[in-house]
């Protein structure tokens, strides 16, 4: 179990990126869903030992990750948002180089380990191809291969599907789901579909705070019978948005198809029909209801600052 307690991160500025995050992440896949700027990467960097928190605790199976990052490093695999590859190296040479940088040793030798890891992420066929010829999905799979070295208990994956086409995304989902059979996989994303496809549980984060910890089915069930869909002419859209809780509005055949949340007992506009809620509706409503952060981004006086 990965546990975070009152995790705070204040960057110089000051910019408060995390405002006291409490989270327990069990084995399996767990999502961290939030818009850009929510604090997801900051959290992932702290967990992977690249950044020190200003205050708070992080433990993995009882081991203190903030005080003893070196003890945990062998149990951690990290796929950052921006992964630096050398385009002219082959996939297998790139992987070997990354493993050497990480200080990975293998009783059977690094060559054999690389071959095993490439097999694991279905890249054996492209082992000798230059990385510059890899598609976005293949690069992400190579990134996962390096993160898997040492068979980590915790795999941290930061926004891995941004930029992948739908087919690559599906393939990458399958790989991640497979990885989560044996370990904790923490997946950070701003894409609701990632969570809907993969995560039995997830936390919604905004302005450095956890807004909700739920599952896709719980989040949808909470909106049961309260979602309606209908058409609104473009000229009336602004006034409609003032009067109703709009979750989504998309153009369809030149007209606004609009989804609204209407609590039981609230009037529903004429022509609107009940529709099953989606995870996107639940997420967008949570974002609408999220309180704005305090005007000052400085830490509160009760928050002890112990460096940045």
Binding residues for ligand ADP, rule: CB under 6 A, are 11, 13, 15, 17, 34, 36-42
Closer of 114 and 158 to ligand ADP (Cβ): 158
Least separation in angstroms between residue 37's CB and ligand ADP is 4
Closer of 202 and 228 to ligand ADP (Cβ): 202
| Nearest CA-CA partner of 228 in 193, 192, 269 | 269
Return d(Cα 118, Cα 92) in angstroms, integer: 8
Neighbours of 175 (CB within 10 A): 18
Return d(Cα 240, Cα 258) in angstroms, integer: 10
Least separation in angstroms between residue 160's CB and ligand ADP is 13
What residues have CB less than 8 Å from 133, skipping those under 6 apart?
126
Least separation in angstroms between residue 139's CB and ligand ADP is 20
| Nearest CA-CA partner of 174 in 162, 192, 161 | 161
Least separation in angstroms between residue 18's CB and ligand ADP is 8
Least separation in angstroms between residue 51's CB and ligand ADP is 9
Sign of the CA dihedral running 258, 263, 268, 272:
positive
Closer of 53 and 91 to ligand ADP (Cβ): 53
| Nearest CA-CA partner of 2 in 55, 44, 52, 42 | 44
Closer of 90 and 308 to ligand ADP (Cβ): 308
Closer of 87 and 163 to ligand ADP (Cβ): 163
């Amino acid at each position: 179990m990965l546990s975070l307690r009152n995790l705070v991160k204040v960057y110089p500025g000051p910019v408060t990126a995390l405002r006291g995050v409490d989270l327990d992440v069990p084995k399996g896949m767990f999502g961290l869903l939030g818009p850009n700027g929510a604090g997801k990467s900051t959290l992932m960097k702290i967990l992977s030992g690249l950044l020190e928190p200003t205050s708070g605790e992080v433990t993995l199976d009882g081991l203190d990750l903030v005080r003893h990052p070196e003890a945990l490093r062998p149990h951690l695999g990290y796929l950052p948002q921006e992964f630096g590859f050398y385009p002219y190296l082959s996939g297998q040479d790139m992987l070997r180089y990354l493993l050497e940088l990480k200080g990975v040793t293998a009783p059977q030798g690094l060559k054999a380990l690389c071959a095993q890891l490439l097999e694991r992420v279905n890249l054996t066929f492209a082992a000798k191809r230059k990385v510059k010829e890899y598609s976005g999905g293949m690069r992400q799979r190579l990134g996962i291969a390096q993160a898997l070295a040492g068979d980590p208990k915790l795999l941290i994956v930061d926004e891995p599907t941004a930029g992948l086409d739908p087919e690559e995304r599906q393939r990458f989902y399958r790989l991640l789901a497979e990885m989560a059979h044996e370990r904790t996989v923490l997946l950070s994303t701003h894409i609701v579909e990632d969570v809907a496809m993969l995560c039995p549980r997830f936390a919604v984060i905004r302005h450095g705070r956890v807004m909700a910890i739920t599952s896709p089915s719980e989040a949808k069930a909470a909106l049961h019978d309260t979602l309606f869909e209908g058409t609104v002419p473009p000229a009336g859209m602004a006034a409609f948005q003032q009067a109703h809780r709009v979750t989504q509005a998309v153009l369809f055949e030149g007209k606004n198809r609009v989804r609204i949340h209407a609590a039981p007992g609230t009037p529903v506009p004429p022509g609107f029909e009940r529709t099953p809620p989606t995870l996107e509706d639940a997420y967008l409503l949570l974002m609408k209801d999220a309180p704005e952060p305090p005007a000052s981004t400085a830490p509160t006086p009760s928050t002890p600052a112990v460096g940045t």
